[in-house]
Amino acid sequence: MKMAWSTVVKLCLIVILCFTVVDYVNAQGRTAGSSNTNLKLKEEVEFLKANLSALWDIVSALQTRAAEERQDESEELVVSLGLKRRETWGPNMKNIFDSQIRVRPQDESKSYPAVSAAYLLFRRKDYSTWRRVKNTDELYFWHRGTTLLLHTLKPDGSVQQVKLGDPIQDPDASPQVIIAVGSWVAAELEDKLSYCLISVVQAPGFDASKAEVGQPEALISRYPQSETLINRLAPPRQLPATTADVVDDE
């Protein structure tokens, strides 16, 4: 049986309430006068403690089971969608569409697919490091799982965090987010025990020469107020400044 996180949270609140009751009973015991009253209060405290311990074990088991079920779902998505992992620390992904129609910007001689789209699946501690697309906006769409945190470093020097997710489960989240052209973006799960399936759409379509991976030193120089965030979501090893953000499906 699947257990919603909201239910687990409610159970945790019950545990906290019970601990508060125990503290209150203990306080009453310290102020009570007769030995009979003290003995009765002590028995009540021991009874509450025993039940609290059992309830806490149930909550812990539910949390563990919920995490296992979410990982089982993510494994099914990897298989059913044919996703592949690019890096040990990065999300699974797959390019799902490159338009056969080619477009050419007025100021360029090179043509690009009219539209490109890809699936990305984040699991547990997966994250995508700082990258930007230099020729188009990007559309991020949430499909399933927990909330994905999108951190953006904008060309004007400002920094923003946006939540991509289910607005019913998280009122601050949106199922669609636009990343403006030229913005650096990195992504991570809000709940590190869960997963998140999204898709990213670009128009004009993806081209490796227009994608750039951010180098921490340069980004910190431009956005010094976000040094901790930049370092935390930097790649564990140095990557080339330009990289093909795609997976070979062969």
Quick: pLDDT tens for 161-186.
Answer: 999 999 999 999 999 999 999 999 99
Q: Judge if pTM exceeds 0.75.
A: no
Split at pLDDT 50, 70, 90, the class of 86 is confident
Residues 101 and 51 in one domain: no
Phi, psi of 96, deg, nearest 5: -110, -15
Residues 224, 140 share a domain: yes
24, 101: one domain:
no
Structural domain of residue 222, as residue ranges?
Answer: 84-232
- Say if residue 53 is in the same domain as residue 157: no
66 and 176 co-located in one domain: no
pLDDT, mean of residues 57-74: 64
Query: Would 106 be classed as within a structural domain?
Result: yes
The structural domain count of the chain equals: 2
- Please count the residues of the chain: 250
- For residue 249, what pLDDT is reported? 39
Same domain, 157 and 186: yes
User: Could you tell me which residues come within 8 angstroms of residue 79 by beta carbon, excluding any fewer than 6 positions away?
Assistant: none
Banded model confidence at residue 37, pLDDT cuts 50, 70, 90: low
